[in-house]
Each structure stands twice: as structure tokens, then as C-alpha cells.
Structure 1
Amino acid sequence: MAFTAEQLAGNSSFLMSIRFLAGRTRGMFDAGPRLARLLASHQRWLLTQTAYALNLEYDPRDPTSGFTAVRLTGRITAHKVASRNTVLAFIEELHTYRFIVHTPGDERRRPRHFEPAEVSHQAMFGWILANLAALDLLDGGQRAAFFQANPSLMKLAQPRIARHCLEDAAWREPPEQVALFLWTEAGGLVVDHLMARMDIENAEPERFPVGRVETRALAGDFMMSRTHLQRLLAKAAQRGCLGWHDETRKTHLWISRNFVEEYCAWQAVKFAYVDEAFEWAKAQGEEMTA
């Protein structure tokens, strides 16, 4: 039985799962920084997941199906996630860096179909695997092991996750404090870094210590300007999301419990859809082999 978002948000161990996933995400960034940045803002996350789902839903009997510029633009603009020009620029960037390729034989056809390169397949598989492993921490489940042993579940589960997340405003439109980070370039990487570094054991009633944060090094790490990072942290501090133990030097950071709870409640929406899609795909697979 899959967890609901409410069950996850109310689970006292869920914060450990959030930290676990943040650490895994950081590892994925270190392994492939440019590709990982595609998931580092919420708009790009929605674009990437939707594009990948369109590819998996391709039906050779229907030439209008699959991942095309028209299909991705239609699905994304319908939910006001991005403009047509933003979608087209995103596809161009993916193609330039060879994260997607033209479907063989489609180079001169219209509509032109795209499909993920092998590195993109591996990254998406790794992302779902990490989410399932984070869920396993809550109940001792074997989701990640089962998914790894049955990689064909990906074709069923990922489009379902992507569709539910895109259609649900509770995930599509993050709450105000979370949106401050997630709608900015590389903001997701910053939040993951803070979550992974958060000291749960030494938490205070209203905040969690994060430790020493060097903005110059962190900005360089995430391929963003130091000015952009400092501006982002300053805005978050103004809203009370985070602050500095040493206000003048600004080296040791804390993050507010209110922000962490808001972030966990938002993440619970996505985790619930991942869990539901996994259970559904697993049941479909069992029916097909019965």
C-alpha cells in the first residue's frame, strides 16, 4: 500500500528520507553537473520529467505521439509552467549538450521526434531509484531493490509520476518559501545542500544548524554566480527561512523549522506519487506475467 502525502508529511522519520535524497541528489550532481542542473529549478524539473514521459509514451502507430517540440510545448503551456519560447530553448539546450538525440530516421521529418541519450536514461533511472530508496527508509521496504531488479517498470512508472506531478497544483506550484529557491536557477541544488548538511541531532526549537557555508566555494561548485547565490540567501533571510549565527561575518548558517516543514510537506506530494506509480507499475507487471 502506497503512502499518502499526508502520511509522509506526518511521519517523524520523513525528514531523514528528505536528507537521504538530498545527499543522493548531490552525488548525482557531482557525477554529472551539467545534466543535474536540468533538475535544479522547478520549471526545468517539470520540463525534463514531462519530456521524458512523452518519449516513453511513444506509439509507433501514432506519428503525433512521443517527444516532439509541439507535444512538449502543448503539455507545458497548458499548465502555465513555461512559455513556448522557453520550451523551445530548453529542447535546443538538451540537443546541443547531447542529452537528447533525434530519433533515427526523423532528422528531416516533421514532426521531428527526440529521444533521451543513454546518459539521460541512466540519470532518470537513478533519480527514481533514489526516491524509492528514501521511501524504503520509512518502512523497511524493498522498493529500490525490486526496481533495480526489474528495470522495465521504468516505462510504466515514470510517465505516471510525471503526469500526476504536472497536473497537481500542490506540486506544480511550490509554497511561497520553497518557491523562493525552486523557481530560481540552481535553487534546487542550494536547498539540497542545506537539507543534506542540516544537523537534526542538535536542532533548536525553531531552527536547525547547517554549519559553515562558504558562498564563494558553493557558487563555484554549482556553476552559479556568487552574487546570485548571496542575493538568494539574503532574500531567504529576509523572509526568515534561514539566517546566520554570526550575522556580521555570515559563515555559519541555520535553517528555520518552519521552512523545513513546508519543504517536507511539498516533497511529500511528489514522494506519494512516486510510491503510487511504483506500486501500480509493479501490479501491472505482475498481471502481465500471470
Structure 2
Amino acid sequence: MTNFFDFAISRLPAAPADGRGPAPGEIDRLLQNGSFPAALRLLAGGFIALYEGSPNMTALFATRQSRLLCHALLALYFQKRSGGAGEPALTREDFGHLALRHGLASHDVAYAFFREALKRGLVRPVNRSDETQPGGVEPSPPVLAMLIEWYDVHFQALDLIDEGFRAGRFIERSEIILADIHPRVVRAFLSNPEVRCPGPLSIIFNWFNAGGLLMDRLIAGIDWESPSDQHRFSTDVRTVTQLAASLSLSRIHVGRKLAAAELIGGIGWSGRRGSSPLWISQGFYEEYARMQARKLLILDEAFIDIA
């Protein structure tokens, strides 16, 4: 994916926090649940499966900034559609104003993202008579199907933790629920400082193409049969080449990011590089786990509100 996100979000006005979102105590309780590690494996594996099912489109979700932009774009569509005021199609100007208002991107970067979303099939022109000069766009059927799968895997994880029935209830009415729940979830994402600004290890990965996917792959590769040693988790990864190939990424690209994470103690090799398992630190695991726990609680609260 072309890297057109070449500015610092910190230069733009941050979205104001409004107090919504899970309290730290709620997150800690979820992390301490005995079923949470299994739920985390389910999430990481589910995210990889989503990517493999549509790599060209899901690449747009693969950095922190682009992921927030994707969710914001889709939420804006549902908001316009529910408003009942004329054509619910989105325009480039709509999206540019939204991105700037929430401190996600400048107008120019938002417009570049809008073009990329159209190119990769995230959205499609409403007026298909001239697809080279679209006025308004709408989400494509494949991205709506992918968004339903994204919610489904999160609800499956929640159900695994407390033996609930969210996933089944969601799938039964997914198209109706999706239009109501997604704007709520995205508002919470955009107003939560920890979702917008993750920890140092997450930043290393989330500011490069497919960085979020790389984190998913490392978590999914944890050897849970082997107890953690010295606050480390062993994985099934042995070489940069193996890791890059498993995700169809550039070896040089992946190697640079692993090297950066290694410098601050986030990852390393248990023995000789290339012939021993790669490990991730307790800190890396906890950053990823807390982020997923925070998302799960946000989605659960939104589901309770509308289901």
C-alpha cells in the first residue's frame, strides 16, 4: 500500500475525550479472566483470516491511522443514511471535514485516503455511469461483509469469555445492527486517548504498513504450551524471512520494524538469530492485550445499548 500518511497526527487538534469508554478497573478484570488468553488467540487469528480473505482491501486497516480513517469513513456513511436527509452518499469533502475535525488527518491526506479507498474497493461510486469522476460514494458490499465478520469475531471473543450469545444475536440481524452499532463504536474509538495513542511498542508497529497485522501474527504465534520465561513469550517465528513470507510482506520492511522493537526490548531471539524462536516481551503482550480488551468492552457496551 502506498504510504501517503506522511504527517504527524500530533500536529493536528486531538479529538476531545468525553469520558466514554471502559475504566481501567474494567480492563484489568477482563485481562484477569481465565478465558481471556483464548479470546485473544481467537481475535489475532480472526484478524489474520480477514486479511487473507481480502488482502488488497484490508491493507487499508493495517496501520493505526488508516484503521481509524476506515472506521470513521464507514461510520459517517451510516450516520448520513440514518439522517434521512436526501442522498446518503459520501463525498470527499464530507470525509475531509470529518478527518480534520477529529484530528485524524489533514484535508490533503484525507483526500488521498479517499482516493485509495475508492481504488481498493472499500467504497464505490454511487453514480456508476462515470466511475473515473465519482461525486458520491458508498461502502462496497465486500467491505460491509468484512465489517460484519470483524464484529462477529469480537463478539465470539466476548462470548468465549462469559459464555454469552452476542455473536449469534448479531449475525441474525447483522445488517440492521451494523448501521446502529458502528457509529457508536467509532465515536468511542475517536474519543478514547488510549485507542488513538497506544504504547511505545504499538507505535513502532502501527505506524508502518501492515504493522497491526504483524502484531496479530506474533500474538497468534505464541507457544502457549511453553511457559513464559523471564517475562517473555516464545513464538513459532524463527526468521524475519519466515515472518515476512507468511504475511506477503517485504523482508526488509519487516526486518526494520523488528530491529526497532528489539532495540527497546519488545522482541528478541531466544538463541542464535535464524535458528531459534523469536520471543515477545511481557510488555508487548500487555500492550496488545489491553488494546484488545479496551475494544471488546467498547463493543460490548455499544451492543448492550442497541441489542
Unaligned 5+ runs, structure 1: 283-290
Deviation at 1:262, TM superposition (A): 2.0
- C-alpha distance in 2 between matches for 1:44 and 1:99: 12
Of 49, 52, 65, the residue aligned with 1:27 is: 49
Q: Secondary structure at the match of 2:80?
A: coil
Deviation at 1:63, TM superposition (A): 5.4
Is the counterpart of residue 96 in structure 1 residue 123 in structure 2?
A: no
Deviation at 1:188, TM superposition (A): 0.6
RMSD across aligned C-alpha pairs, in angstroms? Answer: 2.4
Which gives a bigger RCO, structure 1 or 2 (Cα 8 Å, sep 6+)?
A: 1
Counterparts of 1:12-91 in structure 2, within 5 Å, are 12-59=34-81, 61-62=84-85, 67-91=90-114
- C-alpha distance in 2 between matches for 1:176 and 1:68: 35
Is the counterpart of residue 276 in structure 1 residue 279 in structure 2?
A: no
Q: Counterpart of 2:217? A: 193
- C-alpha distance in 1 between matches for 2:73 and 2:85: 17
Q: Secondary structure at the match of 1:204?
A: coil
TM-score (ref. length: structure 1): 0.88
- C-alpha distance in 1 between matches for 2:32 and 2:45: 22
What one-letter code is carried by the residue in structure 2 that aligns with 1:52?
Answer: L
Is the counterpart of residue 147 in structure 1 residue 147 in structure 2?
A: no
Q: Secondary structure at the match of 1:58?
A: helix
Q: Secondary structure at the match of 2:233?
A: strand
Deviation at 1:66, TM superposition (A): 5.5
Of 240, 243, 248, the residue aligned with 1:215 is: 240
% identical equivalent positions? 29
Deviation at 1:261, TM superposition (A): 1.2
Q: Secondary structure at the match of 1:112?
A: coil
Q: Counterpart of 1:229? A: 254
Is the counterpart of residue 241 in structure 1 residue 266 in structure 2?
A: yes
Deviation at 1:111, TM superposition (A): 10
Deviation >4 Å, runs of 4+: 63-66, 105-108
- C-alpha distance in 1 between matches for 2:27 and 2:88: 31
- C-alpha distance in 2 between matches for 1:45 and 1:199: 28
TM-score (ref. length: structure 2): 0.83
- The number of equivalent residue pairs is 280
Deviation at 1:162, TM superposition (A): 1.0
Unaligned 5+ runs, structure 2: 1-20
Is the counterpart of residue 129 in structure 1 residue 152 in structure 2?
A: yes
Deviation at 1:105, TM superposition (A): 7.9
Distance 1:213 1:158, change over 3 A: farther
Q: Counterpart of 1:285? A: none
Q: Secondary structure at the match of 1:229?
A: helix
Deviation at 1:212, TM superposition (A): 3.0
Q: Counterpart of 2:227? A: 203
Of 98, 106, 113, the residue aligned with 2:136 is: 113
Q: Counterpart of 1:171? A: 195
